[in-house]
Amino acid sequence: MAKDSDEKLMTIKDFQEVIIPAMEGVFATKKDLEIVRFSLQADMRENFVDKAEFAQFRNESFNFFDKIIKDLDILMTEQKMGYYQKQKERSLWTIMIEAMKEHQILSTEQVQKIKELGVF
């Protein structure tokens, strides 16, 4: 119990009048938190995409990658066909050069020059 009138106990009313206003300067109130929440929601609406926009972006990206893969597949097939065609041409020219050499259509000097090229 209080011995002096200056040292009286604090009541709930005193607490509400003194401590709570002092705490409002230090801590955030419900109103402050609501303001922050609304501003964050507004920022999110402005800076982020929604599900529909993301789905559209994803579909466009996948379609683009599908097109790239299709084009690469065509190019790789053409490359293989070109390689096999080149092998056939080399075989053909090897046979033709040997035949020309046998029938003396090409001189030994000409055959030697062709071999030096290293093409066949």
| 28: enclosing H helix or E strand | none
Range of the domain at 40: 28-117
Evaluate whether 93 touches 120 at the Cβ level (below 8 Å). Answer: yes
12 within domain boundaries: no
62 within domain boundaries: yes
Evaluate whether 120 touches 97 at the Cβ level (below 8 Å). Answer: yes
For the chain, the domain total comes to 1
3 within domain boundaries: no
Does pLDDT of 14 surpass 60? yes
**pLDDT at 5 (0 to 100):** 60
21 within domain boundaries: no
17 within domain boundaries: no
Per-residue confidence at 98, pLDDT binned at 50, 70, 90? confident
**pLDDT at 24 (0 to 100):** 72
98 within domain boundaries: yes
Average pLDDT, stretch 105-111?
A: 83
112 within domain boundaries: yes
> How do residues 32-70 score in pLDDT, each as one tens digit?
888 888 888 887 777 777 889 899 999 999 999 999 999
**pLDDT exceeding 90 applies to what percent of the chain?**
28
44 within domain boundaries: yes
Does pLDDT of 102 surpass 70? yes
CA angle (11 as vertex; 8, 12 as ends), nearest 5? 165
Evaluate whether 94 touches 120 at the Cβ level (below 8 Å). Answer: yes
